[in-house]
Amino acid sequence: MSKRFSKNELKNFIMKEIAQLREEKMSGKLGDATKVADEVEEVEASEYATALEKEIDYMKALDIQEAKLVKKLRKINEARNKLRSSILKKIDKE
């Protein structure tokens, strides 16, 4: 479960991290990268490729759907404009 931080606690935490990063940068020593590498789980690239492919296909489908909706909206706006002009003509005649 995650701990909730108050505004001041979060600000202090961020300031400490910034100071630590600056200190590492100036000293020329960086944190131990092997420690981080050991903690990261390795995943096959094919898993990401499949997920990425599905997301791209979904995006293409959304683009097609958007184009259809834009076309439909354009027709609706044209019909509304025709009706508006028709109503205004009828009002002007009276």
**Coil, strand, or helix at residue 51?**
helix
Q: Are 64 and 71 in contact (CB under 8 A)?
A: no
- Overall number of domains in the chain: 1
Tell me: the pLDDT tens digits for 13-72? 889 888 888 877 766 666 666 666 677 777 677 777 888 888 899 999 999 999 999 999
CA distances for 48 relative to 40, 54, 62, angstroms? 16, 10, 21
Is residue 2 in a domain?
A: no
In a domain, 1, yes or no: no
Nearest to 4 by CA among 88, 13, 79, 24: 13
50 belongs to a structural domain: yes
Is 42 within the bounds of a domain? yes
- The answer as to whether 60 is a domain residue is yes
The reply to whether 16 falls in a domain is: yes
Tell me the residue range of the domain where 31 lies. 7-93
pTM above 0.85, yes or no: no
Q: Is 45 contained in some domain?
A: yes
- Whole-number Å distance between alpha carbons of 31 and 35: 9
